[in-house]
Amino acid sequence: MKKTRIVRVADLKIGGNNPVIIQSMIKTPLKKVGFVLNTISKLKKEGCEIIRVAYKEEKEAKFVKSILKESLLPVEVDIHFASNLAIDAIKFGADAVRINPGNVRKQELKNLIDVAKAYSVPIRVGVNSGSIPAKYKNKSNAVSGMVCLMKEYLEYFQKQNFKDIMLSLKSNSVRDTYYANMKVASLFNYPIHLGVTATGLGTTSIIKSSVGIGALLLQGIGDTIRVSYTGSPLEEVRTAKMILSAVNLRKFAPEIISCPGCSRLGIDVIKLAREAQSAINKMSISKPLKIAIMGCEVNGPGEAEDADIGIAGGKNCAILFKKGKIVKKVSDANIISVLMKEVKDMAEER
Ligand code: SF4
């Protein structure tokens, strides 16, 4: 896939060969400024890199200003219907604005583009399947409507010679999100923000987001991501990190490679994997170690050898491997303490 242009959001470079950036969104009214800022601080600690806030009406201006002034993360201000709010947001200090071509008329964009140019602030053109104008609504081909709407607006931006653009095309359908993004990525080289929208609760949301975002990332498409989760934004960030880690684009913590278990199990893999994960979480290790916990000698030694550190189960014991070499045999009762000591030592190695 061709490289995208690079767009700056505050100090972050988005696009090109830069790391895929994690975003989330504030889900409480902006008037609770203290709560919003506290949430931003927690999200930053969790690994969020850009926060989006929805600016709905002019009377929220003072809250937007305070959030922009105090935020610990770059802020993208999200506007629907009223392009004048996007202009105000830029003047207040927004690091980026998002407009929805489904509800901001093209003719209203001229002033916004002039202000964005003057302040060097990028604009995300964010198409959403929930707000496609009637002329592009096509029940039998939703992808085509999303892509045509995007093309129409991008042509307008191009006519105005404005290139500090990011794109997004989100649908609640994983397939439509995938094909709309594939198509647009083949037509334009602006950075793309990925997400599947309105994915629902819990595991359903995690799976839809992981499949949609992950499939596109594996095609080399996507410069920023957001998991749209009906729940805590902290969960959005945790899932986003796991997606990036699963496709090997970024690593944030040790990864446990544990076998699913079968009747060959020589050790209690499920218990050991849980204990190891819990110990790693408590130690707050950020080094991306690969830790194998394998139940027997069939695939165990192979996976354990391939990992930074690993165990392969035997009868009431395990073989400890380190960097591909057998270190020692460990009795059943000592497996977790020996493994975690090795992990700690390896995490502290420079
Ligand atoms: S590693 Fe061994 S115990 Fe684990 S699933 Fe494979 S064959 Fe079964």
pLDDT at residue 324 greater than cutoff 70: yes
Q: Is 298 in the pocket of ligand 1 (CB under 6 A)?
A: yes
Q: Taking residues 338-347, what's their average pLDDT?
A: 92
pLDDT digit string, tens, across residues 207-231: 999 999 999 999 999 999 999 999 9
Residue with tokens 């991501």: 225
In the chain, the number of structural domains is: 2
In a domain, 203, yes or no: yes
Domain boundary among the residues 217, 246, 275 is at 246
Closest residue CA from atom 6 of ligand 1: 299
What's the start-to-end Cα distance of the chain, in Å? 35
- How sure is the predictor about 300, in pLDDT bands with cuts at 50, 70 and 90? low
In a domain, 1, yes or no: no
Mean of pLDDT over the chain: 93
pLDDT at residue 15 greater than cutoff 80: yes
Residues 239 and 303 in one domain: no
In a domain, 225, yes or no: yes
**Looking at this protein, which amino acid is placed at residue 181?**
N
User: So what's the pLDDT on residue 1?
Assistant: 63
pLDDT at residue 159 greater than cutoff 90: yes
Measure CA 341 to chain center.
Answer: 32
User: So what's the pLDDT on residue 296?
Assistant: 87
Give the residue numbers spanning the domain of 202. Answer: 7-246
Domain boundary among the residues 246, 267, 295 is at 246
In a domain, 32, yes or no: yes
CA distance 278 to 254: 12
- How sure is the predictor about 26, in pLDDT bands with cuts at 50, 70 and 90? very high
Q: Taking residues 262-274, what's their average pLDDT?
A: 92
Look at residues 180, 339, 175 and name the one whose alpha carbon lies nearest to residue 257. 339
Number of H helices, E strands in the chain: 11, 15
- How sure is the predictor about 102, in pLDDT bands with cuts at 50, 70 and 90? confident
Residues 54 and 30 in one domain: yes
Q: Is 260 in the pocket of ligand 1 (CB under 6 A)?
A: yes
* 346 vs 51: which has the higher pLDDT: 51
Domain boundary among the residues 246, 265, 295 is at 246
pLDDT at residue 36 greater than cutoff 80: yes
Ligand 1 center from residue 264 Cα (angstroms): 6
User: So what's the pLDDT on residue 2?
Assistant: 66
- Please report, for the domain that includes residue 68, its CATH number: 3.20.20.20
In a domain, 103, yes or no: yes
pLDDT digit string, tens, across residues 133-150: 888 888 788 999 999 999
Residue 312: is it exposed, middle or buried by C-beta count within 10 angstroms (0-12/13-18/19+)?
buried
Q: Is 294 in the pocket of ligand 1 (CB under 6 A)?
A: yes
